[in-house]
Amino acid sequence: MKVFTSVNQLGDLNQALKEAFEIKKNPFGNQELGKNKTALLVFFNNSLRTRLSTQKAAMNLGMNVIVLDVNQGAWKLETERGVIMDGDKSEHLLEAIPVMGCYCDVIGVRSFAQFKSKEDDYNEVILNQFIKYSGRPVFSMEAATRHPLQTLADIITIEEHKTKARPKVVMTWAPHPKALPQAVPNSFAEGMDMAGYDFVIANPEGYDLAPEFTKGVTVLHNQDEALEGADFVYAKNWASYEQYGQVLSQDRSWTVTSEKMALTNDAFFMHCLPVRRNMIVSDDVIEGPRSLVIPEAANRVISAQTVLKRMLESL
């Protein structure tokens, strides 16, 4: 595997899950693969889970790891070509990327949507420059439009907890004070399509995701109706796609509470974290016995290790 920017690049999902569960059973079984190999993890944005779980995955594979926080300690980077660099940015991404490639064997990149231009965000301008100019296999650690390592961890978690072949999974929008990207919900929708679950999205009017991610999916603007009979509730906030990057609502009636969970089939609660308590989800639901947020975060090591192992096999 040379590029991982979408769960679709996993190919056969059952095969990927088989590899993931083998890794979970025997996390140190492939240390020879990573010996004398270096993973460079480049962060343009903050992270707790991705940073730690991807480092742990690389270490489990016997790799060395370098972490670069672009905005803390590195030169400020210009990302657009043609700019006269007479401001505060000292280095251009077009030199910085091939230089980074000199110091590693694989590169992970975290680069969120900037909400300045829908076109630039949906064309994944920064991630694609790493793919084009680094000369190394590149994997996304959440980009503008997708978060595939999170989605793979989510699917692993559902597979571990489902009690029927085709559970009903409801992804519901929930309120948040800031504009958040659509990467997690877009990617989750792709993953649900691959997994073939009974998948429903609930969001207020004005929050429909990009049509390329919701083809054939039931999208309801009534959360209570969507939650009926759900086996898994996946909560997430995202900013409007139609009115790109705008926060159109902070309607707290969409917060996932125990009253909302009572509409479900005793559903498990999921969220990728970090989560704003009592905006997205009430304390009692996230702390309750059906909350999967911690096992989901733990599975981030397994998803990262599955992808890194495939990248090492391709070197």
Dihedral sign for Cα atoms in the order 94, 95, 96, 102: positive
Give the C-alpha separation, 168 to 148, whole Å.
21
> Residue 264 contacts by C-beta under 8 Å, 6 or more apart in sequence?
170, 227, 228, 229, 230, 231, 233
Give CA–CA dist 223/175, Å, rounded: 12
Instruction: Record the tokens describing residue 29, joined without a space.
Output: 């079984």
Q: Which of 261, 172, 251 lies closest to 218, judged by CA?
A: 172
Nearer to ligand CP, 101 or 184 (CB): 184
CB of 92 to ligand CP, least distance (A): 27
* Complex with ligand CP: residue 100 or 180, whichever CB lies closer: 180
Nearest to 206, CA basis, from 238, 159, 181, 171: 238
Residue 110 beta carbon to ligand CP: minimum distance, rounded to whole angstroms: 7
Question: In the bound complex, what is the minimum distance in angstroms from residue 123's beta carbon to ligand CP?
Answer: 22
Evaluate whether 310 touches 288 at the Cβ level (below 8 Å). Answer: no
CA distance 228 to 243: 29
Q: Residue 55 CB, nearest distance to ligand CP (Å)?
A: 11
In the complex, least distance from residue 202 CB atom to ligand CP, rounded to whole angstroms = 21
Which residues sit opposite 169 in a β-bridge? 199, 232
Give the residue with the Cβ less far from ligand CP, 50 or 255.
50
Sites of contact with ligand CP (CB under 6 A): 47-50, 142, 150, 272-274
Whichever of 188 and 199 has its CB closer to ligand CP, that residue is 188
Q: How far is the CB of 228 from ligand CP (least distance, A)?
A: 28
- Nearest distance from C-beta of residue 46 to ligand CP, angstroms: 7
In residues, how long is the chain?
A: 315
User: Whose Cβ is closer to ligand CP: residue 66's or residue 273's?
Assistant: 273
* Adjacency order of strands within the sheet including 268-270: 218-220, 198-202, 168-173, 232-236, 268-270
Contact, 13 vs 148, CB < 8 A?
Answer: no
* Residue 236 or 260 with smaller CB distance to ligand CP: 236
CB of 185 to ligand CP, least distance (A): 13
Residue with smaller CB distance to ligand CP, 78 or 142:
142
Cα 69 to the center of its chain, rounded Å:
18
Q: Which is nearer to ligand CP, 11 or 274 (CB)?
A: 274
40 CB burial (10 A radius; 0-12, 13-18, 19+): buried
